[in-house]
Amino acid sequence: MSNFTVSITIGVNTSPLAGTEGSKLTPKVIRDRLHEEQDLNPTTIKVKDTDSTDRLDVYGASLVQLVTLVEDMRSEGFELTVSDPQCLFKRDRNDECTLLEPYEEIVVEAPIEYSGAAIEELTNRCGLMIESSELGADSTRTVFHVPTRMLFGFNEVLANITRGFGVLGRSFLKYDLIVNGFSSPVYTGFLISSETGNAVGYALAKFQDRGVFYVGPKDKVYTGMIIGENSRREDMEINVLKDRSLTNIKASGSNEAYNLPPPKIMTVGGMVDRLKFDECIEVTPSSLRMRKKVLDSTTRKISNGSQKTGVCFKILED
């Protein structure tokens, strides 16, 4: 059987802005496009139905391959909702009760001053170091064997600990026994919009000390949309639509410069790496937006209260 290792769920755009930026919107055109991709690459792409006609599970040989597929569909005019990635386990043919998980060979090239931190991070992710060697006078090359699910989010972590100088190579290695002992990386929380409308410079400036924003003044936002990264570990809902009060002198803030830094630009791959079980991505030809799967705050808290952690794997049946 082909070595599928990861899956994402792709479906119609269900955000409040659905249908405003793309030309290919319906479940049928999305389904036809995904099955076309499967026909072109049957050994590395597999499409499966879900319990909803609006969504399909797409299995791939790597997360990079699936991200590339989403990017291709985006450039073709599709609007999509993309879920958090799931690692694909499979049953041992010699023992149906034993599950196996995919492993990858990881090659990291980094400056010597950052290589120790990269090695420590991969070791914490249950990686087994196979080789380490010098590259010239100031860089190292390290080879690890690591379970695929332990690598979710690693790209961003590597970029941070190597100040952007780390180079990562990945390739499928094998299916082997499941390992234990790793907790998911601790990310900061998100800043989530509590209102729907256009972001206001004054409000963004007011919350500037809370973290880093993905949006700028006049950008469209909606309730439940992720608009930035919180400087703390928990999610925080904020209102970025509220302007300064009007006065009888002038509309306060009408001509003021707030010295806002430019919004952080996220890629599809970067967003997928950060997704938790209750989050997804809105993909359109002109925009990428992260959002909560359940947009309403009260409903979301009730829903998440019954599911404290997400399941990050599926079982791949022959």
Quick one: CA torsion of 54, 59, 64, 69, rounded to 10 degrees?
Answer: -40
Q: Domains of the chain by range and CATH? A: 1-84+267-318 (3.30.70.870), 97-177 (3.30.70.240), 186-265 (2.40.50.250)
Would you give per-residue pLDDT tens digits along the chain (318 residues)?
A: 467 999 999 999 999 999 999 999 999 999 999 999 999 999 899 999 999 999 999 999 999 899 999 999 999 999 999 999 999 999 998 888 899 999 999 999 999 999 999 999 999 999 999 999 998 889 999 999 999 988 988 888 899 899 999 999 999 999 999 987 655 555 689 999 999 999 999 999 999 999 999 999 999 999 999 999 999 989 999 999 988 765 544 444 444 567 889 999 999 998 998 888 899 999 999 999 999 999 998 898 887 765 555 557 788 775
Write out the E strands in 159-306: 167-177, 190-193, 197-198, 211-213, 220-221, 225-230, 236-238, 279-283, 288-292
What is d(CA 134, CA 271) in angstroms, rounded to the nearest whole number? Answer: 33
Give the per-residue pLDDT at 306: 53
- Per the structure block, which two tokens stand in for 144? 């690890």
Contact residues for 300 (Cβ-Cβ < 8 A; gap 6+): 224, 278, 292, 294
What is d(CA 239, CA 164) in angstroms, rounded to the nearest whole number? Answer: 32
Predicted model pTM: 0.86
